[in-house]
């Protein structure tokens, strides 16, 4: 049932017809010489934005919402949990679906807990999705989303393919894990975090997801006129770096804002990290996993799944600052080789520095596409192993087909988006490969995001030994 708002918004649909002005046509003496014009009739349809709906919440959906239904339409409900009965306020009304926030919980799930952050409520900060759920429930919901995406996009039943999937907890708990946060800055110079699906800012005193010095950075109490954002970054040490984001020059396609110009305001220009005991130095504004335990977990997962051997050839795509490239180089040793590929100039510089004492490994600046893969194979021969860690958009079907055609004995795919991972796995399966393993990690607690490490192997590979454990 729904309770209509007092003054609902209106949606308009226009129907046009051609007629002459005042009913006179071009042959009418009273309208001679007049042009016909379009008469538009407007049908006004009530929007449900602002309406209060009583809903029974079904399962989880991708993106941090749950699914309910109202008069035949799907409703994506935030701040709810499966099995609950809630009173929800509609925030978006689209032709085929609604979005809503649960504002009253009439029958609560046993998985519900009070949100630890005062800003994690309907209409306020949009950075978190699951603060109202236990950690166990959050990880279970993420596992369900991964399974849904693989079934829908790749046509794979994960239980039957790789066995029951669990999302693994990383050390450190649900709070105090983000080593990097970029706070947006409004026109008045005040920092904050974006509200859900909005350009509006929630001005926060702190963010409990941040590590000490990042979530509670004193920068939140200062004014930053002329900036688009202020970013707090911390490595393994206690030092915190502040980076100012300023508008970049020009405009990108479709009117998008160009990349920010980023400069160090306070603190060291470089931060230090370790991965499986190996030291790394990375520019403060460079890419690194935001969870302090993530790089260790992903690197070890790759080693466990791929078992790189001394003397093997490895290609590491989307190599970033070399987090995996260094680990892989140590695994194959001086008798092997590793080529890392990365498109960002700053990350390439960091990777070169981190690989400096491993001459059998090198980094190449290039964009990853099918042509690049073919070129690498022509230059150095087919790789034994491939590792890739693409951005959220994934590598794409063309790249996966090129990689499988190169004939490695296995591919390790690190992904922060189950949907694009499932799409790319489907391309590999279509090329005669199989999903041989899948692990998932809760590298972003309290949010809908999850990291996966997938292992792909050819159905048959008579020419190479399989060193998998």
Sign of CA dihedral 121, 122, 126, 132: positive
Residue 148 phi, psi dihedral angles, 5° rounding:
-60, -45
The answer to whether residues 324 and 389 touch, using CB atoms and an 8 Å cutoff, is yes
User: H/E element holding 373?
Assistant: helix 370-380
Give the pair of three-digit tokens for residue 402.
Answer: 């090129």
Nearest of 315, 383, 331, 329 to residue 357 by alpha carbon: 329
- Angle (CA) 40 41 42, round 5°: 115
* 416 annotated active-site: yes
Which residues touch 51 (CB under 8 Å, ≥6 apart)?
2, 3, 4, 5, 8, 89, 90
Residue 220 phi, psi dihedral angles, 5° rounding:
-70, -20
Tell me which of 128, 207, 416, 452 is the catalytic residue.
416
Residue 295 phi, psi dihedral angles, 5° rounding:
-60, -40
- How far CA 8 is from CA of 11, 52, 89, in Å, comes to 10, 11, 12
Give the pair of three-digit tokens for residue 317.
Answer: 């795509």
Active-site positions read 416
């Amino acid at each position: 049932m729904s309770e209509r708002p007092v003054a609902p918004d209106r949606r308009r649909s226009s129907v046009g017809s051609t007629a002459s002005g005042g009913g006179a046509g071009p042959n009418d003496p009273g309208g001679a010489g007049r042009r016909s014009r379009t008469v538009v009739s407007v049908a006004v349809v009530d929007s449900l934005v602002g309406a209060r709906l009583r809903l029974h919440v079904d399962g989880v959906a991708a993106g941090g919402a749950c699914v309910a239904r109202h008069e035949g339409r799907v409703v994506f409900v935030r701040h709810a949990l499966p099995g609950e009965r809630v009173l929800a306020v509609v925030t978006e009304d689209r032709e085929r679906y609604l979005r809503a926030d649960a504002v009253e919980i009439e029958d609560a799930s046993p998985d519900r807990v009070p949100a630890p952050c005062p800003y994690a409520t309907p209409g306020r900060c949009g950075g978190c999705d699951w603060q109202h759920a236990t950690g166990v429930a959050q990880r279970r919901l993420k596992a369900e989303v991964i399974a849904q995406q693989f079934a829908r996009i790749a046509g794979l039943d994960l239980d039957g393919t790789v066995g029951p999937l669990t999302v693994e907890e990383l050390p450190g708990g649900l709070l105090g894990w983000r080593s990097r946060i970029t706070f947006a800055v409004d026109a008045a110079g005040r920092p904050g975090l974006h509200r859900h699906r909005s350009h509006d800012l929630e001005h926060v005193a702190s963010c409990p997801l941040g590590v000490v010095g990042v979530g509670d950075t004193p920068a939140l109490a200062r004014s930053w006129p002329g900036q688009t954002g202020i970013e707090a970054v911390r490595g393994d040490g206690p030092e915190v770096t502040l980076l100012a984001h300023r508008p970049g020059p020009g405009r990108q396609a479709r009117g998008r804002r160009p990349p920010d110009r980023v400069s160090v305001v306070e603190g060291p220009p470089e931060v230090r990290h370790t991965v499986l005991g190996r030291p790394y130095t990375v520019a403060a504004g460079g890419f690194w996993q935001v969870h302090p335990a993530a790089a260790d977990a992903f690197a070890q997962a790759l080693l466990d799944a791929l078992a790189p051997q001394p003397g093997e050839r490895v290609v590491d795509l989307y190599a970033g600052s070399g987090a995996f490239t260094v680990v892989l180089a140590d695994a194959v040793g001086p008798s092997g080789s590793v080529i890392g590929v990365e498109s960002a100039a700053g990350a390439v510089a960091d990777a070169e520095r981190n690989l400096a004492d491993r001459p059998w490994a090198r980094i190449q600046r290039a964009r990853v596409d099918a042509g690049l893969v073919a070129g690498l194979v022509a230059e150095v021969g087919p790789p034994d192993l491939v590792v890739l860690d693409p951005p959220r958009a994934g590598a794409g079907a063309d790249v996966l087909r090129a990689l499988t055609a190169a004939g490695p004995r296995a591919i390790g795919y690190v992904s922060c988006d189950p949907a694009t991972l499932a799409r790319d796995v489907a391309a590999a399966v279509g090329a005669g490969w199989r999903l041989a393993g899948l692990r998932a990690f809760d590298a972003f607690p309290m949010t809908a995001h999850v990291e996966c490490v997938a292992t792909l192997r050819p159905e048959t590979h008579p020419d190479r030994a399989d060193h998998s454990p």
